[in-house]
Amino acid sequence: MKSQYWADQVADKLIKSKNKKKFTIASGMTPSGTIHFGNFREIITTDLIGRALIDAGAKVRFIYSWDDYDRFRKVPKDMPKQNILKKSLGLPVNRVPNVFGTKHKSYAKYLESELENNVNFVGINPEFINQGDKYPTGIYSKNIKIAFQNRNQIRKILDKYRKEPLSENWYPGNVYCEKCKTDGTKILNYENFSITYSCKCGYKDTFDFRKKGLIKLSWKVDWPMRWAYEKVDFEPGGKDHSTPGSSYTVGKEIVKIFGWTAPDYVMYDFINMKGKMGKMSSSVGNVQSLKDVLKFYIPELARYTFAGRTPKTEIFYPMDEGIFKHYEDFYYTERVAFGKEKVSKKEQTQQERVYRMSIIDKSVKRIPIQPSFKHCVELMNIYGTVSKALTSTGTKTKRDKERYSQVLNCAGNWIKEFASDRYKFTINTVNPKIKLTVDQKSGLNDLVKVLSRNLNEKQLYSEFPKIMDANNLNAKTFFPIIYQILISKTSGPRLAPFILAIGKTKVKKLLNSVK
CATH of the domain at 273: 3.40.50.620
65 and 158 fall within a common domain: yes
Dihedral sign for Cα 366, 369, 372, 377, please. Answer: negative
pLDDT(211) > 70 = yes
Of the candidates 444, 353, 500, which has an alpha carbon nearest to the alpha carbon of residue 8? Answer: 353
pLDDT tens track for 91-131? 999 999 999 999 999 999 999 999 999 999 999 999 999 99
Q: What is the DSSP letter of 97?
A: P
Under the banding of pLDDT at 50, 70 and 90, the label for residue 430 is confident
Q: Do residues 141 and 267 share a domain?
A: yes
CA 231 from centre of chain: 28
DSSP 3-state assignment of 215? strand
The H or E element containing residue 288 is none
DSSP letter for 29, please: E
Give me the CATH number covering residue 494: 1.10.10.350
Instruction: Indicate whether 280 and 382 sit together in one domain.
Output: no
Are 270 and 134 part of one and the same domain? yes
357 lies in some domain: no
Q: Determine the pLDDT at residue 18.
A: 92
> What residue type is 494 in one-letter code?
R
Q: How far is 507 from 510, CA to CA, in rounded Å?
A: 5
**Residue 372 carries which side chain, given as an amino acid letter?**
S
pLDDT at 277: 41
Provide the residue range defining the domain that includes 472.
438-514
Chain-centroid distance of CA 464 in Å reads 44
Residue 181 forms part of a structural domain? no
In a domain, 351, yes or no: no
In a domain, 41, yes or no: yes
Q: Give the length of the chain.
A: 515
Q: Is 57 left (phi over 0), alpha (psi -120 to 50) or beta?
A: left
Question: Would 354 be classed as within a structural domain?
Answer: no
Total number of domains in the chain? 3
The answer as to whether 38 is a domain residue is yes
**CA dihedral defined by 330, 333, 339, 344, rounded to 10 degrees?**
150
Q: For residue 326, is it left (φ>0), alpha (ψ between -120 and 50) or beta?
A: alpha
Three-state DSSP class for 18? Answer: helix
Asked if residue 197 belongs to a domain, the reply is no
pLDDT in tens, 481-509: 999 999 999 999 999 999 999 999 999 99
The per-residue pLDDT for range 333-345, each reduced to its tens digit, is 999 999 999 999 9
List, edge to edge, every strand of the sheet that includes 59-66: 22-29, 59-66, 127-130
Does residue 239 lie in a domain region? yes
One domain, residues 414 and 450:
no
- Give yes or no: residues 446 and 501 share one domain: yes
Nearest CA among 267, 266, 268, 260 for reference residue 232:
260
User: How confident is the model at residue 280, as a pLDDT?
Assistant: 58
Quick: pLDDT tens for 183-208. 999 999 999 999 999 999 999 999 99
Same domain for 413 and 473, yes or no, is no
pTM attached to this predicted model:
0.92
Distance, in Å, from the CA atom of 461 to the CA atom of 450, rounded to the nearest integer, reads: 11
In a shared domain, residues 246 and 290: yes
Bridge partners, residue 63, by sequence: 26, 127
pLDDT score of 374 more than 70: yes
How far apart are alpha carbons 273 and 38 in whole angstroms?
9
Check residue 179 and give its pLDDT. 98
* pLDDT tens profile 281-332: 555 556 899 999 999 999 999 999 999 999 999 999 999 999 999 999 999 9
Selection from 388, 395, 419, 413 nearest residue 297 by Cα: 413
What is the rounded CA–CA span in Å between residue 307 and residue 360? 12
Give the whole-angstrom CA distance, residue 83 versus residue 61: 41
Q: Answer yes or no: is pLDDT of 153 > 70.
A: yes
Q: Which residues contact 81 (CB under 8 A, 6 or more apart)?
A: 99
Q: What percent of the chain has pLDDT over 70?
A: 97
- The residue-averaged pLDDT of 403-407 equals 98
Does the CA dihedral 66-250-264-312 come out positive or negative? positive
The number of helices, as runs of H, and strands, as runs of E, in the chain is 21, 12
Q: Are 221 and 252 in contact (CB under 8 A)?
A: no
Q: Region 33-61: what's the mean pLDDT? A: 96
Does residue 377 sit in the same domain as residue 234? no
Closest CA to 22 of 223, 233, 263: 233
Last residue of a domain, one of 389, 423, 457: 423
